[in-house]
Amino acid sequence: MKGYVSAVAAAAFAAAALAPTSAAMQCPGSSAFVHASCEVTGSVAANCTSFADEIKARVDGQYGTWHDPHNNGTYTIDKFSDSSIALHRTTGNGKYTDKMVFTLTPGSSSECKFEACSESQVTSVSDFSTNYCNMRMLYCGKADGCKPVVVDVGSAKEDKIKPSIGAGKDPSACLKV
């Protein structure tokens, strides 16, 4: 019995460590028991309406006015408002899909605070910064090497980046086609 309890406790601890979520952070969820993920809390130098419009413009402008510089994936908006955006991204080779949620909260008149979460939809641990890049490519500005479509939100201030164990958070990995 003692060994069984230890095994169950270890499995529960591992599951919690591999798929972190905080109480306030809205994440899309995944059917994969063990999966890579990343959470980012930060702000951009734009109001939330402009920021939401820029995210939408990047997604709508794919393969014309904008492309995903992280391995040329394809984003799709699932739900959209000025305060919450749910999306998914399929990898450039079409094999994998990640889901993400952005929650936007007005800061000062020229600032939008955001919480963003991306989760792999298949069993994975090491993601080579993909979940982080899924989100970063939608909020980075010209100063970060990105190409804005309607408004340059500047270099986002990332207050907290929390990848799951094995997942990465390397900004330089995001600009690789």
pLDDT at 106: 96
User: Per residue, what are the HEC states of 9-23?
Assistant: HHHHHHHHHHCCCCC
Distances (CA, A) of 136 to 97, 125, 132, 144: 16, 19, 6, 10
pLDDT at 24: 63
pLDDT at 71: 87
**pLDDT by 10s per residue, the chain, length 177:** 554 444 433 343 344 444 444 446 899 999 999 999 999 999 999 999 999 999 999 999 999 999 999 989 999 999 999 899 999 999 999 999 999 999 999 998 789 999 999 999 999 999 999 999 999 999 999 999 999 999 999 999 999 999 999 999 999 999 887
24 backbone dihedrals φ, ψ, rounded to 5°: -85, -25
pTM: 0.86
pLDDT at 110: 87
Predicted confidence (pLDDT) per residue in 108-124, tens digit: 878 999 999 999 999 99
pLDDT at 176: 82
Residues 6+ apart with CB under 8 A from 52: 80, 81, 82, 83, 85, 104
Question: Can you tell me the distance from the alpha carbon of 39 to that of 102, in angstroms, rounded to the nearest whole number?
Answer: 10
Residues 6+ apart with CB under 8 A from 14: 34
Name all domains of the chain by residue range, CATH numbers in brackets: 2-174 (3.30.530.20)
Predicted confidence (pLDDT) per residue in 73-102, tens digit: 999 999 999 899 999 999 999 999 999 999
